[in-house]
């Protein structure tokens, strides 16, 4: 097992043990790729969602939010291209009977070649020490160049074949690369077939009279079909944006890697409507803004990179992913797409209604172009959780697991702990709890020794533990312990509110 797989396993079991994420329907042996957020997870998830909403809606006068329904008119998905083109190429291994996404098999193969390049870099770094120039090495080393060339050739062929829907060639590529099933180890593959990812259900009381409708595979279309309503009722002037958070559903073929790829997940999307011809400038703007948001949360810069798309979706004229260094490696966390006027034009065509905007500045009416930012809330949750998870060996040789969550995102801001369960300490602690819980999520706990309670709050990422002892009854002071430094300080009860507020204050969030 590699260290990375090891880390993902540890995060999954930590998330379960400390009430962040449970497998859905666990007592029925679970439902594949569906998860439930538990008592601490729901708080962290809510805080991430609110941080996003604040950055996108509250801080931008020209962006407003909506909450559209999950069920929509079925023709919307015809217009958007999802009925005909929202497919993944799938392939089965005849021996293990396991199903894979053909493109993912090839992409995993490419990741292995990339790992070889990283290994060469690491080796050279050690050899050359301070004199090492990574960029020069990547552009001159013969082995690296050969591997890069190989990667380019494979990915070009894969994307061209997918573009042309030449599924035979995708299978041929898998055979030529001698890709084996990770489970059976065999190279005995079926043909590659297209598989539509939308979940369908029936609307109506009887099956005969029923209309087939879909669970939305993205929240974006709910924004497009409401664009004119919002523009008119909100008297919005271009450029302006509409934001929305909500559930989306995809019947993913390869659903694995915990909450990274789920069948029911939550998206946070913003569609920005601009004058045609100005989309590239806004695309660059939102790329930069979104990266800034991630870093403003206190995430590590080294864990992020952009990946500009070579293969563009049918609706886009430019697209980039913000990739995060998950325990499984760098993977897409967010997409920024210049979607042109594809969606609005398609809805015009299918409804016969005009979705134009009259631009008083240039005295012209047009169908706006759209730049979209789209992030998976669950993927962001995994990014936050995995970068916060730390195992530490303390000075006395003992170990602790701590979640160094950005304080503003932590489920609880403070734990209120009476040192013992008697002598009036619980009553004093309750008083503090009552006062603080109006402003912050706090947790009152009196069970177990104080050290054990500290560890439990380290493990769920509570920034402050507040301990009430006998002296507190007379000096009106408490001991406050910092999660990250484990330093303890004596402070006046009257100062607690300001102290916690300053700790969690983050311009991006609170």
Is residue 417 a contact partner of residue 466, using CB atoms and an 8 Å limit? Answer: yes
Instruction: Determine the Cα–Cα distance for residues 211 and 169; give it in Å rounded to an integer.
Output: 37
Q: At 165, phi and psi to the nearest 5?
A: 60, 35
CB-neighbour burial class of residue 307 (10 A; exposed 0-12, middle 13-18, buried 19+): middle
**Mask: binding to ligand ATP, 233-252, rule CB under 6 A, as x and -?**
-----------------x-x
Question: Binding residue for ligand ATP (CB under 6 A) from 14, 45, 171, 261?
Answer: 261
Q: How many Cα atoms sit within 13 Å of 260 on the Cβ side?
A: 21
Candidate ranges 237-245, 275-283, 328-336, 405-413; the one touching ligand ATP (CB under 6 A): 328-336
Residue 221 is encoded by which pair of tokens? 């279309």
> What are the residues whose beta carbons fall under 8 Å from the beta carbon of 448, sequence distance 6 or more?
456
Closest-approach residue to ligand ATP (CB): 376
User: Which of 192, 213, 243, 333 is in the footprint of ligand ATP by CB under 6 A?
Assistant: 333
Q: Which of 265, 293, 324, 326 binds ligand ATP (CB under 6 A)?
A: 265
d(CA 230, CA 268): 18
Instruction: Give 343 or 378: the residue with its C-beta nearer to ligand ATP.
Output: 378
Which residue in the set 80, 244, 340, 374 belongs to the binding site for ligand ATP (CB under 6 A)? Answer: 374
Q: Strand, coil or helix: what is 371?
A: strand
Q: Do residues 433 and 380 touch, judged by C-beta distance below 8 A?
A: no
Confirm or reject binding of residue 287 to ligand ATP (CB under 6 A).
Answer: no
- Decide if residue 15 touches ligand ATP (CB under 6 A): no
Contact between 267 and ligand ATP per CB under 6 A: yes
What is the number of alpha carbons within 13 Å of residue 443 lying toward its C-beta? 22
Q: Which CB, 172 or 255, lies closer to ligand ATP?
A: 255
Q: How far is residue 181's CA from residue 166's CA, in Å, rounded to a whole number?
A: 22
Give dist(CA 406, CA 418) in Å, integer: 26
> Does residue 101 belong to the site contacting ligand ATP (CB under 6 A)?
no
Q: Is 472 one of the binding residues for ligand ATP (CB under 6 A)?
A: no
Q: For residue 41, state whether it binds ligand ATP (rule: CB under 6 A).
A: no
- Binding flag, residue 82, ligand ATP (CB under 6 A): no
What is the CB neighbour count within 10 angstroms for residue 448?
12
Closer to ligand ATP by Cβ: residue 52 or 265:
265
Write each residue from 166 to 205 as x if it is in contact with ligand ATP (CB under 6 A), else as -, in one continuous string.
----------------------------------------
- Quote the CA–CA distance of 121 and 28 in Å, as a whole number: 47
Which part of the chain contacts ligand ATP (CB under 6 A), choosing from 173-181, 355-363, 373-381, 493-501?
A: 373-381
Q: Which of 376, 406, 411, 418 binds ligand ATP (CB under 6 A)?
A: 376
The residues of the shown chain that bind ligand ATP, judged by CB under 6 A, are 218, 250, 252, 261-262, 265, 267, 332-335, 374-376, 378-379
């Amino acid at each position: 097992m590699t260290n990375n797989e090891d880390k993902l396993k540890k995060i999954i079991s930590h998330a379960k043990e400390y009430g962040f994420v449970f497998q859905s329907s666990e007592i029925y042996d679970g439902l594949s790729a569906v998860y439930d957020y538990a008592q601490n997870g729901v708080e962290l998830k809510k805080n991430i969602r609110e941080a996003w909403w604040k950055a996108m809606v509250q801080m931008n006068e020209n962006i407003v939010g909506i909450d559209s329904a999950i069920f929509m008119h079925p023709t919307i998905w015809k217009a958007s291209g999802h009925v005909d083109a929202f497919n993944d190429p799938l392939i089965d291994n005849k021996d293990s009977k396991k199903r894979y996404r053909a493109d993912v098999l090839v992409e995993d193969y490419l990741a292995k070649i990339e790992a070889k390049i990283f290994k060469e870099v690491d080796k050279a770094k050690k050899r050359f020490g301070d004199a090492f120039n990574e960029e020069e090495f990547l552009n001159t080393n013969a082995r690296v160049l050969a591997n890069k060339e190989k990667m380019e050739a494979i990915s070009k062929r894969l994307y061209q074949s997918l573009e042309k829907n030449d599924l035979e060639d995708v299978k041929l590529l898998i055979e030529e690369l001698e890709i084996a099933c990770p489970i059976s180890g065999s190279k005995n593959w079926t043909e590659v077939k297209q598989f539509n990812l939308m979940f369908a259900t029936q609307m109506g009381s009887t099956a005969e009279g029923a209309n087939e409708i879909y669970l939305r595979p993205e929240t974006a279309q709910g924004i497009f079909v409401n664009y004119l309503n919002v523009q008119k009722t909100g008297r919005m002037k271009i450029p302006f944006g509409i934001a929305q958070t909500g559930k989306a559903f995809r019947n993913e073929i390869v659903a694995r890697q915990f909450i990274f790829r789920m069948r029911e997940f939550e998206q946070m999307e913003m569609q920005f409507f601009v004058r045609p011809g100005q989309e590239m400038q806004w695309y660059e703007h939102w790329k930069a803004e979104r990266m800034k948001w991630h870093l403003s949360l206190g995430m590590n810069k080294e864990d992020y990179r952009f990946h500009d798309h070579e293969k563009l979706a049918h609706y886009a004229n430019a697209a980039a992913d913000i990739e995060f260094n998950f325990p499984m490696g760098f993977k897409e966390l967010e997409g920024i797409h210049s979607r042109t006027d594809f969606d609005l034009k398609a809805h015009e065509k299918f409804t016969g209604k005009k979705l134009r905007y009259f631009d008083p500045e240039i005295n012209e009416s047009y169908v706006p172009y759209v730049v979209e930012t789209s992030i998976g809330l669950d993927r962001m949750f995994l990014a936050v959780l995995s970068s916060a998870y730390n195992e530490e060996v303390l000075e006395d040789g003992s170990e602790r697991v701590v979640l160094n969550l950005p304080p503003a995102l932590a489920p609880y801001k403070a734990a209120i702990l009476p040192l013992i369960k008697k002598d009036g300490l619980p009553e004093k602690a309750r008083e503090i709890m009552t006062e603080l819980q109006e402003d912050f999520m706090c947790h009152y706990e009196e069970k177990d020794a104080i050290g054990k309670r500290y560890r439990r709050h380290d493990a769920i990422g509570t920034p402050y533990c507040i301990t009430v002892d006998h002296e507190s009854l007379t000096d009106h002071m408490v001991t406050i312990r910092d999660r990250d430094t484990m330093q303890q300080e004596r402070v006046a009860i009257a100062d607690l509110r300001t102290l916690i507020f300053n700790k969690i204050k983050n311009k991006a969030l609170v």
